[in-house]
């Protein structure tokens, strides 16, 4: 089994306090406040979990709640000086929030709901945070609160805890379940592209641990463009075959670029590419038996490079 995939949720028991005063016991972590009265009242504790996609669950108990108190899960942590996201109870007078930290601009609320006055102290809240590509979901006490698409991929993949305030906050029964990252493939549904998909793209991506999806493989009711946007948002990478001037493929590629998502472009050698994508790196390949190993190797290198940084 891929080491980045968990068959079942695992208790998180290894922590490193980065900011604030913390105590740890098995899968319970307690934020006890700032290091002193003059320090900014926030805490960060990093776990040993590195997760590209998956689910984090925990119970959160506030000893007391004031207007700006916060407790939640950090996603996409890379370093204390780089950006990351927090999905939390509390923050800025709201009951539930998704926030983004950027070193250059500070904190920004991406999604919010409810009033913090509805949160209760000494109550064990159950939270479930789902990260699938750039889509973040939040469930509290089995009630779905948010589904939000981040404007860009998170810079890192480390999971942590965040608290703001001067009163203690206890995080209990913290569990993580890592899941396989997804790759969405945009291409015309005809030969020779179908053969390229089934014999090269899909097996190479699956061998690296990706769930690979093409829009014609999705069944059920719904609006196809909404399905496309959802699949691209949930993907770690978009692979696009751009040999033919196909409007649907370029729509999907444009949507991925709008989300700042990593893309891998494939094209048959000798084909003229549109002007506005000539500056992008493209894997050119020969549509021959001899060209198959070369495109396999290049695709594998590009996908491996994406996995190494996401």
Whether 298 and 161 share a structural domain: no
Tokens encoding 310 = 């996401």
- Is 187 a member of any domain? yes
Whether 26 and 146 share a structural domain: yes
Whether 174 and 190 share a structural domain: no
Residues forming beta bridges with residue 71, ordered by sequence position: 89, 163
Quickly count: other Cβ atoms within 10 Å of residue 58's Cβ.
24
Whether 141 and 20 share a structural domain: yes
Per-residue pLDDT tens digits for 125-160? 999 999 999 999 999 999 999 999 999 999 899 999
Q: How far is the C-alpha of 108 from the C-alpha of 303, rounded, in Å? A: 31
pLDDT value at 252 more than 90: yes
Model pLDDT, residue 220: 62
Whether 250 and 156 share a structural domain: no
Whether 126 and 228 share a structural domain: no
- Stronger pLDDT, 206 or 37, i.e. the higher one: 206
Last residue of a domain, one of 133, 164, 179: 179
Q: How far is the C-alpha of 277 from the C-alpha of 273, rounded, in Å? A: 7
- Is 75 a member of any domain? yes
Per-residue pLDDT tens digits for 227-236? 999 999 999 9
- What's the whole-number mean pLDDT along residues 40-66? 94
Per-residue pLDDT tens digits for 156-183? 999 999 999 999 999 999 999 999 999 9
- Is 219 a member of any domain? yes
Q: List the CATH number of the domain containing 110.
A: 2.60.120.560
Whether 124 and 190 share a structural domain: no
Model pLDDT, residue 40: 82
- Is 2 a member of any domain? no
Whether 190 and 110 share a structural domain: no
Whether 89 and 235 share a structural domain: no
Residue whose tokens read 């998909």: 197
Last residue of a domain, one of 141, 161, 179: 179
What is the model's pTM?
A: 0.89
Q: List the CATH number of the domain containing 227.
A: 3.40.50.450
Range of the domain at 130: 10-179
- Is 22 a member of any domain? yes
Last residue of a domain, one of 179, 201, 234: 179
26, 12 Cβ separation under 8 angstroms? no
pLDDT value at 1 more than 50: no
DSSP E strands in 242-281: the ranges are 263-268
- What's the whole-number mean pLDDT along residues 103-107? 87
How many domains, in total, are found in the chain? 2
Q: How does the average pLDDT of the chain come out, rounded? A: 91
- Is 4 a member of any domain? no
Whether 175 and 193 share a structural domain: no
Whether 175 and 186 share a structural domain: no
Whether 220 and 274 share a structural domain: yes
- Is 272 a member of any domain? yes
Q: How far is the C-alpha of 154 from the C-alpha of 86, rounded, in Å? A: 11
Per-residue pLDDT tens digits for 264-300? 999 998 877 776 676 788 999 988 766 788 899 999 9
Model pLDDT, residue 34: 92
- Is 1 a member of any domain? no
In DSSP notation, 25-60 reads ETTEEEEEE-SSTTS-SEEEEEEEEE-SEEEEEEEE
- Stronger pLDDT, 6 or 83, i.e. the higher one: 83
């Amino acid at each position: 089994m891929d080491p980045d995939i968990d068959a079942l949720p695992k208790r998180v028991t290894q922590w490193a306090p980065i900011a604030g005063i913390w105590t740890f016991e098995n899968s319970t972590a307690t934020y006890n406040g700032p290091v002193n009265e003059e320090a900014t009242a926030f805490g960060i504790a990093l776990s040993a979990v590195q997760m590209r996609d998956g689910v984090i669950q925990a119970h959160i108990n506030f000893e007391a709640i004031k207007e700006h108190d916060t407790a939640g899960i950090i996603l996409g942590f890379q370093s204390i000086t780089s950006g990351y996201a927090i999905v939390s109870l509390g923050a800025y007078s709201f009951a539930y929030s998704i926030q983004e930290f950027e070193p250059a601009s500070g904190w920004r609320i991406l999604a919010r709901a409810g009033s913090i006055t509805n949160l209760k102290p000494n109550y064990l809240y159950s939270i479930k945070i789902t990260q699938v590509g750039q889509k973040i979901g939040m469930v509290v006490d089995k009630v779905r609160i948010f589904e939000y698409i981040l404007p860009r991929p998170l810079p890192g993949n480390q999971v942590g805890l965040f608290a703001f305030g001067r009163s203690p906050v206890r995080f209990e029964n913290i569990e993580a379940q890592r899941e396989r990252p997804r790759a969405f493939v945009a291409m015309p549904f005809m030969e020779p592209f179908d053969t390229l998909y089934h014999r090269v793209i899909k097996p190479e991506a699956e061998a690296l641990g990706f769930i690979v999806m093409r829009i014609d493989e999705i069944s059920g009711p719904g609006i196809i463009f909404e399905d496309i946007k959802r699949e691209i948002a949930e993907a770690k990478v978009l692979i696009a075959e751009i040999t033919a001037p196909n409007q649907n493929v370029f729509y999907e590629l444009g949507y991925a670029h709008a989300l700042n998502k990593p893309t891998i472009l494939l094209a048959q050698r000798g084909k003229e590419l549109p002007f506005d994508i000539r500056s992008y790196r493209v894997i050119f390949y020969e549509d021959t038996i001899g060209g198959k190993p070369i495109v396999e190797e290049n695709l594998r290198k590009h996908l491996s490079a994406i996995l190494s940084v996401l």
